[in-house]
Structure 1
Amino acid sequence: MKTVACYKYHIAKISLILLLAIGSTSCNSLKKVEEDEYLIVKNTILVDSVKVTNEDVQSLIYQKTNTAILGYPLRLNLYNLAKENPDSLYQAWLNKKPNREKRLEKLLSKKQVDRLGESFLVKGLSVWLKDVGEAPVILDTTQTRRSLERLSAFYNSKGYFNNSTTYLIDSTNGKRKVAVDYRINLGKPYYIDSLSNDISSKAIDSLYFLHADASLVKKGEQFDLNNFTLERERLTGIFRNSGIRNFQESSITFDIERDTVRASDDQKMNINLNIGDLRRRGENQVTTSEYKVEKINKINVFTNFLSSVYSAPLDSIQYEDLNIYYSGKFKIRPKTLADAIFFEKDSIYRDLDKIRTSRQLNSLNIFKYPNIIFEEDSIQNLVNTNIYLAPKSKYSLGTNFEVSRSNLRRIGVGMGASLLIRNIFKGAENLSISADGTFGLLSTDIFPDDFFSEIGGDISLDFPRIWFPFVNRTNLIPDYSLPKTRISAGTSFQKNIGLDKQTLNAILGYNWSPNDFKKHAIELLNIQFVRNVNRNRFYDVYRTTYNQLNAIAANSDVVNPDYFDENDNLSTITTSTNDTIGTSSFIRDVISGEINDLNQEQIGDVRSIAEREQRLTENNLIFTTNYTFNKNNRNGILDNNFYQFRFKVESAGNLLSGFSNFIPFNENDDGQLLVFNVPFSQYIKTEFDYVKYWDLSRSNVLAARTFFGIAIPYGNSDNIPFVRSYFAGGSNDNRAWFPYSLGPGRTSALNDFNEANLKLALNLEYRFPLFGDLNGALFADAGNIWNVFDDVENEDATFNGLESLRDIALGSGFGLRYDFTYFLFRLDLGFKTYNPAEIPSKRWFRDYNFANSVLQIGINYPF
């Protein structure tokens, strides 16, 4: 803790120094603006006297103001910190005193004196400040007039062909500071009066009129050039998916007739659609030919393209519509290729089939470079399809190595290896085998040994289709949606950490993606077995719980003295029956009434501790089925104006409960049904996760997330297994609290690991560029966890209706992000703004300081 506090102190100190340095220049933003120059501090676009804030319109201005963070021009002030001529200043300082250079040469040498002038403090700092900073934006009226031309052209494209523009420079913002107003008078817009067409190809003509009703250019609507662009794209897609393989978007043009001389109240224009012939460019001439509908003739698949034996004679087989060519041994079932290729002989050509084929072949993960080439057949209107496939290596080996440290681990070294075997059964089935282990030293003395180990292994098999047991194939999900089946099993062994767990898991799952924006996943069976090996360590590991129990025991005068150790604390020494002499015996005596000098609150606390011990030390059998749906509308990684939505529902224990009607299961003393002598979990769980991004302009982004999750136990369970419960706090949640330290409700970290079965989280983050690859963020995180519909009775920890929303914690803070291209490294400093665990009068801003802040480290954005 001292080390963390020391880091926070130094971070705060450095931040203060930087703020003072920058602040010293903030009052002089004109430091590098000459007397006859003007700094642009504001741009305003007024359209018919109405201010326009639309980012697309604002981006048309050539001279944008200096970037600012919440109104503060950080990069401009960093630029102003740089020395203008550091070389000249160094020489002037060196020669200011006659003997200074000679004394330095005697002390350092002439070469080192010269290098001193190139050092970071003398020159490099100024170069760096200029690189990360931003030069002042000086008014240039030539650029202002060019911006007006852009604005005029933009509104021309919206039908305001008679618009007029002017600009006004306002210097009332201060000496050598100006604001520029761009003023546009739109005039009356033009409307489309008539539509006509001139189509040279008969095939195109019939296709056009078949889809003409859906045209985006409509009679009576205001002219908008963007609609014409979208209409060209729409028609091109229709034609290329209706057999016109070589259709070119450039073949579509629009003739626009309007009266630009006479202005009237009824300004109309006539539109004529032209669709020309196919234009081909040869070496010395351009030829044209009529567009025609083409059909697929031969479908040739070359499975050893780029192979070292490709020059050898090829063997071939025919399967359905496919002519498959290969050399050497044929290594894939023809049906697998047929399922991945969506072209059909004698069907019309469709771009959609090409996209789906390429997408599915890549998804198989057994080919390097799927390449589809079309050749015109000698027979008119027929086209041959050649698909070239380069096989990937059958075996891929991966390794990883990591070093870790935590509050329990002094140091840990992790190693892992994975082996991928492709196309193992010749049907594009991929087998993955992985093993990993972590070993190291513990930083606590509560365990008998000072080392730990974690060893695990997994094996999984992926099928490129939906597979059910005893059913070879189902057509419920089309092949173009990239259906996959995964069967996996794994195990892990953990020693000398906590209660030492052993886990076994097995999954039979399916996933498919109808398009790039929707994904479905079903885990028909997800079985997890968790065994706690050293349950007698509970009070050694969960020290907060132990301290609560020990404090209660200290208040009793009738506790058996043998329950205490030499330090007058409850003993945790284990007996041959795996009970502890002090803790277990004390709990037993309290519940049985043998210890009778405790009040009802203390007895209730002991019962709660006993229930928590039972819950966290019992073995778990979790037998679930779940479904997850993901949807987003993001167009590429550069799109910062999108949303994404995730919904998940999970049901546990129902299948086993149903079997109990036919197969007699054993029961424990609490009436729970047992499978392999373990009570199985039974609950229903659902989650909603919604994320929205807004692009605010100039790489400034506002991101928000809303999460709601609830898990309700019933039947064979009174609570949710620890591994399926919710926790609050951490680098991807409420960053003002550490993981598991917030909640439940208004309780104050009752346990070492606080969890519950209801969670609400709300996050808001403003992200902005600082300089180079370094970005900053301001954030506010709200949320909490509660117990509901389970066996927890503490009102402070349970959700009791809308009044419990007062227990929502609020954290706020700031962070830095460094973009390494392949991943983003993140530092966040969170402050407890509203802490529901405090008394009502002290909940706001009580711990809002660096001493109580929480430093979170993360990889990539939290949402």
Structure 2
Amino acid sequence: MMKLNTSHFKIVATLSLAVIISSCSNTKFLQDGQLLYTGAKINIKNDTLAKKEKSRLKEALQDQLRPKPNSSFFGLRPKLYIYNITKEPKKQKGIRYWLKYKVGEKPVLLSDVDREFNKKIIVNYSENKGFFNAKASSDTISKNKKAHVIYTLKTGARYLISQVNFPKDSTVINSEIQLLKDKTFLKVGNPFDLDVIKAERERIDAHLKNRGFYYFSPDNIIVQADSTVTKKPEVELFVKLKKNTPAISKEPFTIDKTIVFADYNIKDLKLGKYGIPYNTDSVEIYNNIHIIDPENKFKPKIFDRTLYFDKGDLYNRKDHNLSLNRLISLGVFKFVKNEFIISDSLNHKFDAYYLLTPRPFQSLRLETLGKTNSANYTGGEVNLNWTHRNFFRGAEQLKAAIYGAADVQVGGPKDANNIIRVGANAQLSIPRIVAPFRFHSSSAYVPRTNINVGYEYLSRTQLYTLHSFTTSFGYLWKENERKEHDLKVLDVTVVAPQKVTEKYLEQISGNPDPDNYIAPNPSLQRVIDKQLIFGPTYSYTYTNTMLPRKNTFYYKGSVDLAGTITGLVSGADAKAGKQKELFNIPFSQYAKMEHDFRYYRKVNVKSSIATRFIAGIGYPYGNSTSMPYVKQFFVGGSNSIRAFRARTLGPGSYDPRTQNATFFFDQSGDIKLEMNAEYRANIYKFLNAAVFADAGNVWLVNEDPARPGGKFSKDFVKEIAVGAGVGLRLDFSILILRLDLATPLRIPYYPEGERWTFDKIDFGSGAWRKDNLILNIAIGYPF
């Protein structure tokens, strides 16, 4: 149980007393005759409405009322209290001004409430929902300098739709509208609802926009309601065009010419360098696309691949938006603008203009990073990144980077084993599918072919040096804004060790000397083994988090198959002593799968709940008896189980404290389970707070004598680690600085029956805080 000393109790008691006082002292700041407005209540009188419908109507009406009362927290109004106790500042700046007008809230008085206006709002909203005979009244209740208003709404009968008519005429546009009437949102028997009528107008407009009616607008449609047809509370609806609809809105338009200004500058246009209409002498025509690119910055075929309109095509909004989105997704244009200019009004034709402003093709960026980690390592990293966004004049992006990093161990119980990393990598991204087969994509996102190469030199002084080479070839494409596919047809990693010291080898084989005993740890051999990993990888991502919904999801699933075909063809069987090699290196053979599912729920405007579940498994077979170290799973750290330091947890119930090593080494596993939950709330503008809980672990597929308790078993639930904590997020728009303070609540390597640690929590103990409070500093949200 958590221990609180006397000083802690006094602080809590004082804060509690202050809150209680603030709840009852706000009214003493009011002048004579002033009443603090505490809100409104709505009573609905209608015996025919169902309970859910009445509740829904009441909630909607409540949102319409103005003004809103002062914000409250469990019935208290601390922001109002801060405003009241803060003296009027002399200047519109400084801490006092910030405290009174930014943190505090000005009192909302009953005199600020326009009850007649609110009654009109209530009646008007009710009529829009079909209650044509609605009447509202109000009453004010005051006590102890506080007042609230009660609005009573007598709705009368709700009018239902008796019939929906789409009057016919001989125009082209009417024939298009007639095709839509069977799928109308206006259904006989449903209540009259203005919001549904607006949606119906938008539906008709969307269809007409895809049938060439570029100049049409939802405002051109009128829905007339006739309530005099019967004596029942019913209305007959008539959906038709307004009489004053412009003639141009009634005609479908076709594309005459498609003109691209590939190097558009608004200043040049004003000076008349190009002009609209353009000078045909400076135009290159490619597949009916007129391209103005005097400096030949782009290959014409990229516009043919990107733009959907062709000469004679009927205008439609779908192709209009697809073309714009694909131009933007090329990544080479800073601004993309589209205009349609009538070229033949008699035959209803217009020219499609695309005004494209390129981004600077080349950029150079230098990044520096300072860091410290849980193993007493302090260091820094320098990255030099170069990007060319139009490398072969076809919007190909070439990114190259070189980097260097050093981590030096300062302090701590272990010997210094500094880490030095130097590397380089390059990626060529081509905005199309380069393949012997035909790939057609009608999405708004240009598919890409990606080629990557990289090298890294890693030196862990006094231990070993590793050379790592990577390369991959694959495709990235999106079906839509929610679905993305990433297929690497070939993903290759080669790891070659160098300068492995006797000190490290001793950790592997052990030392039987009683005065310097070191237990054998054969698993460390995998770190310095030569590794050849090759095969396809695939990942699928679905997300709707960009949509303005209360509940959103994110899912990413990935599959990694290494050495599968080669292993089968060669008959590799490492367990039977038939391990095969390529280029004198045993190749890895395994299957790996991982699933990452996230769920986000908005509680209200200023708070939300985020949850995540991760499950992964890697299974070695054929030419491998264990997963490659670089492909295993790890947990702990700022984006995982935050109560445990990075890569120090697991596998299973293995106790890392039993290591008799002269250096830290990471704990890894073949199976991973992780669950996270976080409540996020905005405190003030850029300042956000969070309360979180994390749980999970990693396990091994096969038994490892050097790490007892690491194998996955039916008792895996008993080996789940649990941590919890609080955090602050400073959202500066360009970046989010995150500070999370966590403590372990369940430690899987403790003896069974003693793994929950609630009885050991002691915030008053300096030794406990040092060992159990883990501070994570990171950029961005953990998930």
TM-score range, shorter chain: 0.7 to 0.9
CA contact (8 A) 2:89 2:96 kept: no
Deviations 1:617-665 (A, max 9, x none): 32332223222222222445x665422222222222214324536xxx8
- Map 1:439-478 onto structure 2 (within 5 A): 439=406, 441-443=408-410, 452-468=419-435, 471=436, 474-478=438-442
What is the aligned counterpart of 2:341 among 368, 375, 390? 375
Cross-structure match for 2:66: 62
Structure 1 residues 799 and 767: alpha-carbon distance in aligned structure 2, compared to 1, 3 A threshold: same
SS at match of 1:233: helix
d(CA) in 1 for partners of 2:238, 2:651:
68
State, as a whole percentage, how many aligned pairs show the same letter: 25
TM-score by length of 2: 0.84
CA contact (8 A) 2:26 2:80 kept: no
Q: Does 1:337 align with 2:299?
A: no
Deviations 1:303-331 (A, max 9, x none): 23229798387533222221223324x23
Compute the displacement of 1:463 (Å): 0.7
Deviations 1:745-781 (A, max 9, x none): 3444466522222222222222222123212222222
Structure 1 residues 810 and 439: alpha-carbon distance in aligned structure 2, compared to 1, 3 A threshold: closer
Compute the displacement of 1:124 (Å): 3.1
Cross-structure match for 1:737: 644
d(CA) in 2 for partners of 1:403, 1:507:
30
d(CA) in 2 for partners of 1:297, 1:119:
59
CA contact (8 A) 2:474 2:487 kept: yes
CA contact (8 A) 1:650 1:686 kept: yes
Cross-structure match for 2:22: 28
d(CA) in 1 for partners of 2:684, 2:148:
25
d(CA) in 1 for partners of 2:736, 2:257:
48
Q: Does 1:362 align with 2:328?
A: yes
Cross-structure match for 1:824: 736
TM-score by length of 1: 0.77
Structure 1 residues 194 and 688: alpha-carbon distance in aligned structure 2, compared to 1, 3 A threshold: same
What is the aligned counterpart of 2:86 among 71, 83, 87? 83
SS at match of 1:500: strand
Structure 1 residues 790 and 202: alpha-carbon distance in aligned structure 2, compared to 1, 3 A threshold: farther
Cross-structure match for 1:653: 563
SS at match of 1:846: helix
Cross-structure match for 2:405: 438
Deviations 1:334-363 (A, max 9, x none): 222100111011110111111111111122
Compute the displacement of 1:271 (Å): 0.9
What is the aligned counterpart of 1:224 among 164, 187, 193? 193
Q: Does 1:843 align with 2:756?
A: yes
SS at match of 1:370: strand
Structure 1 residues 618 and 841: alpha-carbon distance in aligned structure 2, compared to 1, 3 A threshold: same
CA contact (8 A) 1:201 1:277 kept: no
CA contact (8 A) 1:681 1:716 kept: yes
Q: Which moved more, 1:498-507 or 1:212-221?
A: 498-507
What is the aligned counterpart of 1:414 among 372, 381, 393? 381
- Map 1:145-544 onto structure 2 (within 5 A): 146-165=117-136, 175-176=144-145, 184=153, 186-198=155-167, 202-258=171-227, 266-276=232-242, 288-289=247-248, 291-306=250-265, 311=273, 315-328=282-295, 330-378=296-344, 380-407=347-374, 411-439=378-406, 441-443=408-410, 452-468=419-435, 471=436, 474-478=438-442, 480-496=444-460, 499-536=464-501
Unaligned runs of 5+ in 2: 660-664, 764-768
Deviations 1:591-621 (A, max 9, x none): xxxxxxxxxxxxxxx5xx32x1223332332
1:436 maps to a residue whose letter is Y
d(CA) in 2 for partners of 1:832, 1:72:
34
Cross-structure match for 1:699: 606
- Map 1:563-578 onto structure 2 (within 5 A): 563=513, 568-570=515-517
Structure 1 residues 768 and 410: alpha-carbon distance in aligned structure 2, compared to 1, 3 A threshold: closer
Structure 1 residues 807 and 29: alpha-carbon distance in aligned structure 2, compared to 1, 3 A threshold: same
1:24 maps to a residue whose letter is A
d(CA) in 2 for partners of 1:654, 1:231:
55
Cross-structure match for 1:115: none
SS at match of 1:390: strand
d(CA) in 1 for partners of 2:60, 2:225:
25
CA contact (8 A) 2:749 2:755 kept: no
Deviations 1:435-481 (A, max 9, x none): 1112464426999988653211111111111112xx2x623434644
Deviations 1:152-191 (A, max 9, x none): 443433323344545666678xx55566665545443221
d(CA) in 2 for partners of 1:440, 1:727:
20
CA contact (8 A) 1:55 1:697 kept: no
Q: Which moved more, 1:30-39 or 1:851-860?
A: 30-39
SS at match of 1:59: helix
Structure 1 residues 418 and 179: alpha-carbon distance in aligned structure 2, compared to 1, 3 A threshold: same
2:317 maps to a residue whose letter is D
d(CA) in 2 for partners of 1:47, 1:534:
83
Structure 1 residues 836 and 409: alpha-carbon distance in aligned structure 2, compared to 1, 3 A threshold: closer
Structure 1 residues 67 and 659: alpha-carbon distance in aligned structure 2, compared to 1, 3 A threshold: farther
Cross-structure match for 1:718: 625
Q: Which moved more, 1:381-390 or 1:66-75?
A: 66-75
CA contact (8 A) 1:398 1:419 kept: yes
Compute the displacement of 1:724 (Å): 2.0
1:529 maps to a residue whose letter is V
Cross-structure match for 1:855: 775
Root mean square deviation of aligned Cα = 3.9
d(CA) in 2 for partners of 1:694, 1:148:
34
d(CA) in 2 for partners of 1:613, 1:242:
67
d(CA) in 2 for partners of 1:360, 1:180:
54
Deviations 1:241-285 (A, max 9, x none): 11111111211121122259x9x7x421111112247856xxxxx
d(CA) in 2 for partners of 1:516, 1:457:
32
d(CA) in 1 for partners of 2:356, 2:9:
56
d(CA) in 1 for partners of 2:40, 2:503:
65
Compute the displacement of 1:199 (Å): 6.7
2:534 maps to a residue whose letter is F
Deviations 1:647-694 (A, max 9, x none): 222222214324536xxx898995322223332222222222222222
Deviations 1:100-133 (A, max 9, x none): xxxxxxxxxxxxxxxxxx999xx83474254223
CA contact (8 A) 1:198 1:272 kept: yes
Structure 1 residues 856 and 58: alpha-carbon distance in aligned structure 2, compared to 1, 3 A threshold: farther
SS at match of 2:190: coil
Cross-structure match for 2:662: none
d(CA) in 2 for partners of 1:733, 1:43:
45
Count the aligned residue pairs: 745
Deviations 1:830-861 (A, max 9, x none): 23334444432551513444422322222222
Q: Which moved more, 1:230-239 or 1:479-488?
A: 479-488
d(CA) in 2 for partners of 1:691, 1:16:
41
CA contact (8 A) 1:200 1:276 kept: no
2:477 maps to a residue whose letter is W
Deviations 1:528-573 (A, max 9, x none): 22334354477599xxx89xx98xx7xxxxx5xxx46xxx214xxx
SS at match of 2:516: coil
Unaligned runs of 5+ in 1: 1-8, 88-117, 281-287, 554-558, 571-582, 588-605
Q: Does 1:777 align with 2:684?
A: no
SS at match of 1:208: helix
Deviations 1:498-525 (A, max 9, x none): 6433211111121112222221211111
